[in-house]
Amino acid sequence: MFEKILIANRGEIALRVIRAAREMGIQTVAVHSTADSDAMHVRMADESVCIGPPSGTDSYLSIPAIIAACEVTGAQAIHPGYGFLSENANFVQIVEDHDLAFIGPTAEHIRIMGDKITAKDTMRNLGVPCVPGSDGGVPTLSEAKKLGEEMGYPVIIKATAGGGGRGMKVAQNADEMEHAFMTARSEGKAAFGNDEVYIEKYLTTPRHIEIQVFGDGKGKAVHLGERDCSLQRRHQKVFEEAPGPSITPEERDRIGKVCADAVARIDYAGAGTIEFLYENGEFYFIEMNTRLQVEHPVTEVIFGVDLVREQIRVAEGLPMSFTQDDLVINGHAIEVRINAEKLPEFSPRPGTITQFHAPGGLGVRMDSALYDGYKIPPYYDSLIAKLIVHGRDRASALARLNRALSELIVDGVDTTVPLFHALLQEPDILSGEYNIHWLEHWLETNLQD
Ligand code: MV4
């Protein structure tokens, strides 16, 4: 059993892990940059270690500094949170080489899913439905053009090292192929040092539906349904909900079982998310994320489970504390991401919080590291709070979101809160009829002066 764990992260997700650890009687070590000396995660942890200057590269991404912090404090395991080192296979290898435990999947699983061609090939072989496209990499423009003719346009060219929307180009017709192919390649090369690309049929109006899976690393796995994360701007999610308003219980059971079986067969350990595009009643695998995700709370509240506690248990070699039959959905949950950003450009607005009041009451959860007088540093992500509401059905959750937003006070910086007040007036949001393009289109017609 772990007596002490180190959290290699900051902000609300560091608090999330500290809270789970404390409930398990595990001591916590926070790490922080010099810009985060007064941060809430430092105050809330049992101990803290300064690991470097403000830049994330020199602090939260510094592998030697984090390993040294474990050695100095005697922490036995590392929880990476999301972002930073959470999907860095090399880091996981180094952690294990130092006889420390990584609270997450193996380096090998992270590596497989980090390469999108290998991930897709692995998932297809495990029986997961994928977007039709090239089998593996497409090395030349002439092969790309041949595939375009065979598959029919539009197609999308994706960098194998990409993900989250980077190194992706759509070709609407044969004339656009050369430019799309070359651009995806050079973006892949520039951003990830890998110019390998693959091609898929381009789905024009899908929803983004992701399945939460959880494995014990020993051949057992479960699914915890889906989240609909279609409301995104520039590949940043802004509003997520569970269950997905377009998914039936039969569809959930079917795709959920496919996903749980797939990760069970590879002995996957811990939390994972299998991302799909969903169009005309069909699921098409695109990527797998081998981490706890920002939006995990909507799943936690409808299933009544603590995913971080389960991650820690599995990393200790314990079994999961539930079986598939124990996992029953209760109601509906919505998360909105409150960013310190100025609308309509969503430009980051670091600064001092002059007044903060978190909403509360039945069915309201606020995951945030804010406090009165907190100074949001300019060096990191602009997410400052996640407001999660839970209701007996979708309509109650929407009403509760409206009520909670009206209680919330964040003064001193601009935030994305006005966006959510506006979205709650939209018939398509109230009815759940949106796809991956809805928000960008709405922002163009409603927010640009
Ligand atoms: C696609 C697609 C349409 N067809 N693949 C964007 C991020 C990356 N995770 C995959 N992405 C997409 N892949 C095929 N074959 C459309 C997108 C996409 C998207 C996906 C999910 C949520 C928002 C999106 C916004 C634009 C494009």
Residue 385 Cα to ligand 1 midpoint, Å, equals 25
- Which regions in the chain score pLDDT beneath 50? none
State whether 354 and 228 are in the same domain: yes
Would 121 be classed as within a structural domain? no
Ligand 1 neighbourhood includes 159 CB (under 6 angstroms): no
Ligand 1 neighbourhood includes 132 CB (under 6 angstroms): no
pLDDT tens per residue, range 325-362: 999 999 999 999 999 999 999 999 999 999 999 999 99
Among the atoms of ligand 1, which is closest to the Cα of residue 200? 15
CATH of the domain at 145: 3.30.1490.20
**Catalytic residue chosen out of the listed positions 111, 291, 309, 400:** 291
Last residue of a domain, one of 172, 201, 230: 201
State whether 365 and 293 are in the same domain: yes
State whether 196 and 226 are in the same domain: no
Would 219 be classed as within a structural domain? yes
**313 catalytically annotated:** no
Residue 315 Cα to ligand 1 midpoint, Å, equals 32
Token duo for residue 362: 């039945």
Separation between Cα atoms, residue 147 and residue 177, nearest integer Å: 10
Would 112 be classed as within a structural domain? no
Residue partners of 111: CB distance under 8 A and separation at least 6? 89
Would 328 be classed as within a structural domain? yes
Separation between Cα atoms, residue 414 and residue 407, nearest integer Å: 17
State whether 221 and 251 are in the same domain: yes
Adjacent-strand bridge partners of 332: 391
Last residue of a domain, one of 176, 201, 226: 201
Would 122 be classed as within a structural domain? no
How many domains does the chain contain in total? 3
State whether 27 and 87 are in the same domain: yes
The reported pLDDT for the residue numbered 305 is 98
CA 17, 19, 25, 30 torsion-angle sign:
positive
State whether 318 and 430 are in the same domain: yes
DSSP E strands: which ranges in 256-382? Answer: 269-279, 282-289, 332-339, 341-342, 347-348, 351-352, 355-357, 364-368, 375-376
State whether 196 and 212 are in the same domain: no
Would 161 be classed as within a structural domain? yes
**β-strand 47-52 against 27-33: which pairing, if any?**
parallel
**β-strand 27-33 against 4-7: which pairing, if any?**
parallel
State whether 303 and 333 are in the same domain: yes
Last residue of a domain, one of 175, 201, 227: 201
Ligand 1 neighbourhood includes 274 CB (under 6 angstroms): no
The reported pLDDT for the residue numbered 131 is 96
State whether 143 and 260 are in the same domain: no
CATH of the domain at 427: 3.30.470.20
State whether 147 and 295 are in the same domain: no
Nearest CA to ligand 1 atom 24: 436
The reported pLDDT for the residue numbered 9 is 98
Would 85 be classed as within a structural domain? yes
Residue 255 Cα to ligand 1 midpoint, Å, equals 19
Among the atoms of ligand 1, which is closest to the Cα of residue 131? 15
The reported pLDDT for the residue numbered 52 is 98
Among the atoms of ligand 1, which is closest to the Cα of residue 155? 15
Q: Domain range for residue 31?
A: 4-100
* Predicted TM-score of the model (pTM): 0.97
State whether 184 and 286 are in the same domain: no
CA 105, 108, 114, 116 torsion-angle sign:
negative
State whether 185 and 216 are in the same domain: no
Would 108 be classed as within a structural domain? no
